[in-house]
Every structure is written in structure tokens, then in C-alpha cells.
Amino acid sequence: MAPATAGPRRVDGLDVLLRAPRLTDGPSWRRARLLDEARLRPSLSQGLDTWDRESSLTAWVERVRDLRAGARDGTVVPHVLARASGDVLGEITFAIDARSGLAELSLWTARSVPHAVTTWSTATAVLGVLERPHVVPWVVAPVAVGNPGPSGLLARAGFEPSGTARLLRPYDGAPADHVVWRLANTAATRDHLHAQIA
């Protein structure tokens, strides 16, 4: 299921929107990732190639192909955060477990993106997933213990830490413990998210 477009919206002086990824996003996606390599690589690198190759236009085409296939079969809800002019500022993606309906959040934004924009885009994307026709009972967001940056953002969105998964997945090239943040799909949660994006 492709995400609905949200915006354009003026947030903290920027005109931004959330929308489905496009093949034409490749150059600005690459530029954003290369500019923030030191911050993004530990969390996002697959460790199979150089960051330059993992951020190549070919990698973007393959990513869009995979995201579209996942959206078609209902297992992925992909978004890009972009300026209204088109430049990619980040990605917000949900992997949906077909059996449980649980959604796992993965996101990154460029360092230059103001916190208010990241908060708006995260709240908007999470709310969109919680209000899907197919009920998503929980959204989870695993965060590497060595990467505390996302914790404040998740807390503002209403997520709570639920435990630590030992050696869940790689962070900075090695298996790492991750704090699993969770958010229940309740009326109070949805009201909180609506208030954040109002």
C-alpha cells in the first residue's frame, strides 16, 4: 500500500512533504546520505560495500524497486521526507509483519533538518500507519544502544522503551543490543499524534 502524500506544509521555515519514493529522487537522496555519512552509516550500512556504492544511483533504483514491491504486497509503507522543491531530506519506512500486523519503523533525516520537521514527519507517518484500513496494533522502533539520538524523537511521538533485544542487528559493523521502543494503536495515541501535527 503506497503512502498518502502529506503536505506540502510549512514547518519551522521549510516547505516539506511526505510522499512515496520516486526514481527521480536518486540524486538528492545520494547527496543527503553522502553529506551525513558519519552519522548515518553506522545505522544504515549493510556492510556489504562502501558507503559510496550503498548510496549510489543504482542502489536507489534497486531500493525503490524493492519498496514498491513491498508496498504492493502490503509489507512495506515507504515515505520520503522532501522539500516541496523535491530535494530528499530523509526516509521514513514501515515494515509490516503479515501475521501480526506489527509495524517496524525505520527512519533517517539529514542533519540539516530542524527537529520540528523531523517531529512533524514522524508523527504524520506513524499516524498514517495507525489509521490504515488493516489494523496495525503496535509500531516498534529498535534503536541501537550506541545510537541514543532517536530516543527523544520517539518519546515525543509517544513511544516508550519496552526492553532491550540482545545483539538484534548490526550497528557500526558489529552485532549490537537495541532498545525496542513501542507505541500502541489506541485512541489516546492517535489523539496525541494529531495534536503534534496540528
Contact 156, 196 (CB under 8 A): yes
- 66: pLDDT strictly greater than 90: yes
Predicted local confidence at residue 134, as pLDDT = 80
Residues of the chain above pLDDT 90, percent = 91
Cβ partners under 8 Å of residue 104, min gap 6: 94, 95, 97, 139, 140, 141, 142
- 2: pLDDT strictly greater than 70: no
Predicted local confidence at residue 14, as pLDDT = 96
The SS3 assignment for 110 reads: coil
Residue 124 CA to residue 114 CA, distance in Å, equals 16
Q: What is the pLDDT of residues 11-24, one digit of tens each?
A: 999 999 999 999 99
Confidence grade of residue 46 (pLDDT, cut at 50, 70, 90): confident
Cβ partners under 8 Å of residue 53, min gap 6: 59
Task: Find the mean pLDDT for residues 55-75.
Answer: 97
C-alpha cell at 51: 558507503
Predicted local confidence at residue 47, as pLDDT = 81
Predicted local confidence at residue 1, as pLDDT = 57
- Residue 122 belongs to what H/E stretch? helix 115-130
List of domains in the chain: 6-197 (3.40.630.30)
Angle at 28 between CA 47 and CA 1, to 5 degrees: 75
C-alpha cell at 119: 517531529
- 94: pLDDT strictly greater than 80: yes
The SS3 assignment for 9 reads: strand
Measured in Å, how far apart are the chain's first and last C-alpha atoms?
A: 25
Residues of the chain above pLDDT 70, percent = 98
Residue 126 backbone phi and psi in degrees, to 5: -60, -45
Say how many C-beta atoms besides its own lie within 10 A of residue 13's C-beta. Answer: 8
Task: Find the mean pLDDT for residues 178-190.
Answer: 97
Cβ partners under 8 Å of residue 49, min gap 6: none
C-alpha cell at 164: 532491550
Predicted local confidence at residue 133, as pLDDT = 79
Task: Find the mean pLDDT for residues 91-101.
Answer: 95
Q: What is the pLDDT of residues 111-167, one digit of tens each?
A: 999 999 999 999 999 999 999 878 899 999 999 999 988 999 999 999 999 999 999
Task: Find the mean pLDDT for residues 59-88.
Answer: 97
Q: Which amino acid is at 111?
A: R
CA of residue 26 relative to chain centroid, distance:
17
Predicted local confidence at residue 146, as pLDDT = 92
Packed helices 37-44 and 26-35: angle between N→C axes, nearest 10 degrees: 100
